[in-house]
Chains A and B, each alone.
Chain A
Amino acid sequence: MINLFKKRQYVTVPQKVDKKEEREEKEVKVNIPDGLFTKCDDCGKIVLKEDIEKNLMKCPNCNKYFRMTAWQRIKLIIDEGTFLEYDKDLSTLNPLSYPDYEGKIKKLIDETGLKEAVVTGEGKIKGTDCVIAVMDSRFLMGSMGSVVGEKITRAVERATEKRLPVIIFTASGGARMQEGIFSLMQMAKTSAALKRHSDLGFLYVSVLTDPTTGGVTASFAMLGDIIISEPNALIGFAGPRVIEQTIKQKLPEGFQRAEFLLEHGFVDLIVERENLKETLYQILLIHRG
């Protein structure tokens, strides 16, 4: 069995790096290849993995954003010791009897220490309460199946009951194909829960991280009262490859990146990773009733 508590201890955020934390960091399993070094696929430079982790998962040389795990993100955003996880035992079924879906899920659970592609719960941002959901792209590309949809819906419903704001960090390739139509229906379910939350006057902030596409874009990602994105994140409905195949031409540079969405009016602001917590706090502060 996976010990989630232990996993959380691994997570690195270089806020106050003392000797003890540094030692723990070396055990961290992150979404970059094994070994001490990694090659940044943007600048091509060989960098110490430890240096990336200490730099909020950004390349120390060119500032490229690597993807963060859900727990790294929670550690970055939520005040230490205040996070209470919701529905952590909700687990995946195989409604279409898709061949070896269970096996695939089991392998991902072992590899990531997660049970599904989203972690939900409540916690404090600089002392201010909120409900938060964080997707993790390592888990089948953060795709949304029944568990992801249900966890997000429950989190939003709890926020509505508790009159709390909701923050969702998206990172998803879209629908969970292996769950077919059930996956599609999660788009309606999550959107409906957000509508109820919204109609009562509560705040929802979505934070789009690389990548956010498909059914997640076409539901809760685009429904924030305020939509934030990390720099250069890929955000779209269709994936770039699908579009290229459809229109049979190459896509322009920067197409579907966060800056492109900002220019076209679909994102409110782009925020650097080191400023995310403070920005979210300021937004919560302005909406505190």
Chain B
Amino acid sequence: MNIFEIEKASEELKKKIKELKEFSKLQNIDLSSEIEILENKLKELQRDSFKNITPWDKVLLARKIERPTSLDLIKRIFDNFIELHGDRLYKDDAAILGGIALLEGKPVTVIGQQKGKNTEENIKRNFGMPHPEGYRKALRLMKQAEKFKRPVICFIDTPGAFCGIGSEERGQGEAIARNLFEMSNLKTPIISIVIGEGGSGGALALAVGDRVWMLEHAIYSILSPEGFASILWKDASKAKEAASLMKLTAQDLLDFGIIDRIIKEPIGGAHRDVDETAKSIKQSLVDELELLRNLDIETLLNSRYEKFRRMGKFLE
């Protein structure tokens, strides 16, 4: 069974449990032991399904339409979030949102790539694929954060930067490059969290952080598995195979030293309990920002530089 078949089986179990509960209430019969057996079975099913989860399962989970988006998490983690729009150069890109907020009473700048919850919203959000103006808005807000000495928190969730005529005309490459360049030396702490899909340079453009974290079932890669398979094997249908080879899971990337931390998701995935997911992220953020705020800026910037400087495998 893959995770979605298991999910279907657990939905059926849940329905049965609910029916039993209603029946016992209505008829005033004690069915608690039967219910308990079913509940345990449900837990076991969900736990087992995630024991053997494949990289491809994670790709599907990361892209799941029910998965919490940046906005779902921002609303739960921060107080007084005020969204700020536009790059001051061309327009406002709905695929990246940003603004200012409080985290446990302390000011922060929050930026996130935003996917839609349905087709209509996805069209507005361009399926979370930013144009150059999205990256330039993000950079504007980061520079603003630097000025007012508040940390930057980035939520990453994109299939990749958009590939189209307008994005080329307005310099997609330049916009991403500029973010990498400026973020590498932005004089305020940056924490980046991959919450769903971390696709290519379009994800990296928000991920040059002091800390880079991933949700347990998020993915982060050079390209989508479909793109990888079609470039290297001229066959996009081999995406499943590509997903295993690419080492795109949070666990692989932690082993490689590409990310610093995995934030656990509720059993069944982040969409099963968005409040719980948000709570875990919030706790990590509060603790880590406390630490980062206490570093002097030179130490912070040197260790950010060294962090990315070390990445790469070669023979001397």
Asked if A246 is an interface residue, CB under 8 A from chain B, the answer is yes
Whether the pair B184, A195 counts as a contact (CB closer than 8 A) is: yes
> Which residues of chain A from 211 to 242 have a CB within 8 Å of any chain B CB?
214-215, 217-223, 235-238, 242
Residue B182 interfacial (CB < 8 Å): yes
Which single residue of chain B is at the shortest CB-CB distance from A185?
B311
Tell me if B44 counts as interface (CB < 8 A to partner A): no
Interface residues of B in 177-221 (CB under 8 A from A): 177-178, 180-182, 184-185, 200-201, 204-205, 207-208, 220-221
Query: Are A243 and B231 in contact (CB-based, < 8 A)?
Result: no
Q: B176, A95: Cβ atoms under 8 Å? A: no
Would you give the 0/1 interface string for B132-175, flagging 1 where the beta carbon is closer than 8 Å to chain A?
A: 00000000000000000000000000000111110111111110
Decide: A192 and B314 in contact? CB cutoff 8 A.
no
Is A84 engaged at the interface, CB distance under 8 Å to the other chain? Answer: no
Q: Check if A189 is an interface residue, CB within 8 A of chain B.
A: yes
B91 smallest CB distance to A (angstroms) = 16
Closest to A215 in B: B201
A residues in contact with B77, CB < 8 Å: none
- Taking a contact as CB atoms under 8 Å apart, the answer to whether A264 and B305 are in contact is no
Question: Residues of B contacting A153 with CB < 8 Å?
Answer: 309
Instruction: List the A side residues contacting B245 at CB < 8 Å.
Output: 96, 98
Question: In whole angstroms, what is the CA distance A199 to B309 when docked?
Answer: 17
A196 to B172, CA, bound (A): 23
Q: Is the CB of B248 within 8 A of A181?
A: yes
Cα–Cα, bound, A218→B201 (Å): 7
Shortest Cβ distance from B209 into chain A, in angstroms?
10
A246 to B166: give the CA distance in the assembly, Å. Answer: 12
Given contacts A192-B208, A218-B172, A236-B173, contact A181 B253 (CB under 8 A): yes
Interface size for A (C-beta < 8 A) is 59
Q: A192-B184, A218-B172, A221-B177 are in contact. Are A184 and B204 (CB under 8 A)?
A: yes
| B247 and A184 contacting across the interface, CB-CB below 8 Å | no
Residues of A within 8 A of B256 (CB): 95, 181-182
Determine whether the beta carbon of B308 is less than 8 Å from that of A199: no
Query: A242 touching B163 by the CB < 8 A rule?
Result: yes
Cα of A92 to Cα of B170 in the assembled complex, Å: 35
**Which of the segments A38-46, A53-61, A121-129, A171-179 contacts the partner chain?**
A171-179
The answer to whether residues A218 and B173 also contact, given A89-B316, A96-B247, A180-B246 and a CB cut-off of 8 A, is yes
Task: Indicate which residue in B181, B221, B313, B316 contacts A95 across the interface (CB closer than 8 Å).
Answer: B313
Task: Check B311–A243 contact: CB distance below 8 A.
Answer: no
Which interface residue of B161, B168, B220, B246 has the most chain A CB atoms within 10 A? Answer: B168
Query: B232 at interface (Cβ–Cβ under 8 A)?
Result: yes
Q: How far is the CB of B167 from chain A (nearest CB, A)?
A: 7
> What residues of chain A lie closer than 8 Å to B181, measured between beta carbons?
191-192, 194-195, 198, 223
How far is B181's CA from A181's CA once the two chains are assembled, in angstroms? 19
Do B247 and A189 have beta carbons less than 8 Å apart? no
A194-B181, A223-B181, A237-B161 known; A177-B173 Cβ under 8 A: no
Task: List chain B residues, Cβ under 8 A from A62.
Answer: none
Most buried by B among A89, A95, A215: A215
* Cβ contacts under 8 Å, B163 to chain A: 237-238, 242-243, 246
Do residues B182 and A195 form an inter-chain contact, with CB atoms below 8 A? yes
Q: Are A182 and B311 CB-contacts (below 8 A) given A188-B204, A192-B208, A266-B174?
A: yes
**CB-based nearest B residue for A263:** B169
Q: Which residues 53-95 in B have Cβ within 8 Å of A in the complex?
A: none
B201 touches A236 (CB 8 A): no
Closest CB-CB distance, A281 to chain B, in whole Å? 26
A237–B180 touching, CB < 8 Å: no
Q: A179's contact among B184, B204, B220, B313, by CB below 8 Å, is which? A: B313
Q: Please determine whether B308 and A189 come into contact, CB atoms closer than 8 angstroms.
A: yes
A36 at the interface (CB under 8 A from B): no
Interface: A4 (CB within 8 A): no
A95 to B253, CA, bound (A): 12
Could you tell me the distance in whole angstroms from the C-beta of A94 to the nearest C-beta in chain B?
8
Closest beta carbon of chain A to B171's beta carbon, Å: 5
Known: A180-B247, A186-B312, A189-B308. A222 touches B174 (CB 8 A): yes
Known contacts A222-B173, A223-B181; 17 further A-B pairs (Cβ under 8 A): A175-B200, A175-B222, A181-B221, A182-B258, A187-B176, A188-B180, A188-B204, A189-B309, A189-B311, A192-B181, A192-B305, A222-B171, A236-B173, A237-B163, A237-B172, A237-B173, A264-B171
Closest 7 CB pairs of A and B: A217-B173, A146-B312, A238-B163, A192-B184, A191-B180, A185-B311, A237-B172
8 A-B pairs in the complex with CB atoms less than 8 angstroms apart: A181-B246, A187-B176, A189-B308, A192-B308, A218-B180, A237-B173, A238-B163, A251-B165
